[in-house]
Structure 1
């Protein structure tokens, strides 16, 4: 029995190792290529490790690569994404928390129908709202601006954040809210002093979900952003498709890693809280 169990474990570890290698192989190609100079790229292949580490591709991708008609690298577009993602994530999460609170503990006529309509919003594809969003941004004079992109992502993300918080707050005992009302706590007092302090797990879920969706978005960025407000995903696409003589794959790979680093760091630092937050509402009470 023990020998069979040990053989089974060995087979499982071999399978897991093979899958890990399979999924990490593209990352190895990207990282190794980004540290190669142009001569190594010409004389070797994708699997050849760099003979010496060259940081020149990273420097050029950050501050000197051409992304269309401009050749100032990825830095300004990285900062555009930061200015877009942080307020959009915070606003959509706070509004979602408020909506979830109202839909669970301040029920009114038609609340279930309203929540159903919000759920439908989770399944509306990006392409279906391009024209209405463009019309709205034009009327608000926010077209081709970072503020306009923030507004678009907040509106589109409210359905998801509301669903997350609503499902979390359903597990909060109604007696707790009633007791607070009897003690004289008002609408906002209950929200701020009772629900928000216990909402850290679901806030982490929303922050990770929204940041990943917003930072990695390409469609809204390419449609609604102007030349000076393009996010880093659009700049990366322009970098890869812009050629001024020799195709520098090492610079392209460095640019791709720069664009992916924030979401990678978010999952490394806070990824374990994602599943905890999703299941916290299910086990509460």
Structure 2
């Protein structure tokens, strides 16, 4: 036996004690049960979207499909009746896209500019302004319904896509300012001072220094805003009309015919169609979302 053979193997894992094994089994079992509990409604909706409605009514809303069909998806997209219009969810889907994308981009940009101004530009009363902006984070949305209705009426934007987008931009700026401020406060002040010494102004410093260092928080705010605005219902139902209605509000009026029979099949497909964009956004940027949160997004 050589001297090397007598050196203990530090990489070798020690065997777990029985209590540790039991603890890990209990932990994983609990996590699996919770995951199944959370995913069960989604699984039921997915299965019902490919079941015939007759089978659902005859058997049960919760059940394994005995026959499969994709007809529900076609009906939900282009044939189902919403109020008096039998165009499916397609026009409401694109209406939501036209509302959510600009509202998300603009509120994120404003939040990033606010965060930079409140942390690195040494403006007077920055603390007071920050508190005033973030008060909107804690106000229930029901509180602002009447003021927004009056404001949109004055602006001539009631029941319009532009008006609803404006509501989400202003409301969302409260959140994006909070996120961006808490992220940018950790950037080195020396970078900003060096840029100012070189003669860079506010927007040049913002574009050349802040933006290249802020992809994590930008992704966080985009995912947050897109998901929140897309899934929001109260503003959508209050400030929309039959001419323009987001998909979340349209789903409440979804109907196939006047027989009074519940159409669970294409209703489930319509719900899944409405859920696709937020899921795609999260799956594309989910890892960056977690990284951005851990770098100061929600301190």
| CA distance in 1 between partners of 2:257 and 2:239 (Å) | 21
Shift of 1:181: 1.0
| CA distance in 1 between partners of 2:258 and 2:264 (Å) | 11
Aligned to 1:221: 236
2:90 to 75, 78, 91: 75
Greater helix fraction, Structure 1 or Structure 2: 1
Shift of 1:121: 1.5
| CA distance in 2 between partners of 1:20 and 1:203 (Å) | 29
2:192 to 177, 194, 201: 177
Deviations 1:133-162 (A, max 9, x none): 112212222111111111110011111111
1:107 aligns with 2:110: no
| CA distance in 2 between partners of 1:226 and 1:42 (Å) | 33
Aligned to 1:124: 139
2:156 to 141, 152, 167: 141
| CA distance in 2 between partners of 1:188 and 1:247 (Å) | 56
Aligned to 1:281: 296
Across the two proteins, how many residue pairs are aligned to each other?
282
Indicate how the Cα distance of structure 1 residues 252 and 119 shifts in structure 2: closer, same or farther if over 3 A, else same. Answer: same
Aligned to 1:51: 66
Shift of 1:233: 0.4
Q: In structure 2, list runs of 5 or more residues that go unmatched.
A: 1-15
The TM-score with structure 1 as length reference comes to 0.94
The TM-score with structure 2 as length reference comes to 0.90
RMSD: 1.7
Aligned to 2:75: 60
Aligned to 2:40: 25
| CA distance in 2 between partners of 1:266 and 1:3 (Å) | 43
> Secondary structure of the equivalent of 2:138?
coil
Q: Report if aligned partners of 1:34, 1:250 keep a CA contact under 8 Å in 2.
A: yes
| CA distance in 2 between partners of 1:107 and 1:139 (Å) | 35
Pairing of 1:212-251 with structure 2 (within 5 A): 212-239=227-254, 244-251=259-266
Q: Which has the larger radius of gyration?
A: 2
Indicate how the Cα distance of structure 1 residues 78 and 216 shifts in structure 2: closer, same or farther if over 3 A, else same. Answer: same
Q: In structure 1, list runs of 5 or more residues that go unmatched.
A: none
